[in-house]
Amino acid sequence: MKKLVSASYLVLFTLLFLACSKNESHYILADDKLPERLDSDIYPVATKPGEMVIGNEQAICTVGETVTLFLPYHVVSDDIQHATIAVTDALTGETVRDLKMTLSTDISVLNVTVPEEIQGTSFMFVNVKVENDLIGRTLNVATKIVAYKQTSEDAVKNAFQVQ
């Protein structure tokens, strides 16, 4: 019985030693350092009371609506610091709104209708309130994400009109 207990301890310690030894085989094919990358594109569908494709003549809003714009992104080896969207008058170039975008991980996203195609992905969003100062304007939108090492920008001219 004493030999059985001693042998089982030997087996147990051997298994523990092998389990704790560092296996570096998965590092053989990996790069030493992944290159930093930050990509983003304004999603072509905005939500308001319903969905609307931005950047075409049918993208029309009225005062009192809130248009939600989305910015899917992909980031590698970097951390996002902040993101903004500038809404400008297409005719004059005047900035009419300069808004901070919100990460989709924010709990407030529950109050936003997210297009099915981007659900489950990394994205940012912003709610643009359509108020009286925007009546009769065609608006451009431009986004900028700033990370520690990279930035990403995108724009849509004539994104939507306000009536």
Residue 25 confidence (pLDDT): 47
Residue 45 confidence (pLDDT): 97
Residue 67 confidence (pLDDT): 96
Residue 27 confidence (pLDDT): 47
Residue 150 confidence (pLDDT): 94
Residue with tokens 């983003």: 40
Cα gap 73→85, rounded to integer Å:
14
Residue 76 confidence (pLDDT): 93
Residue 97 confidence (pLDDT): 97
Contact (CB, 8 A) for 40 and 152: yes
CATH number for region 37-162: 2.60.40.10
Per-run averaged pLDDT (10 residues), the chain, 163 residues: 58 58 49 82 93 95 96 94 97 98 79 89 95 97 96 98 96
Distances (CA, A) of 77 to 56, 60, 87, 123, 142: 36, 39, 30, 17, 24
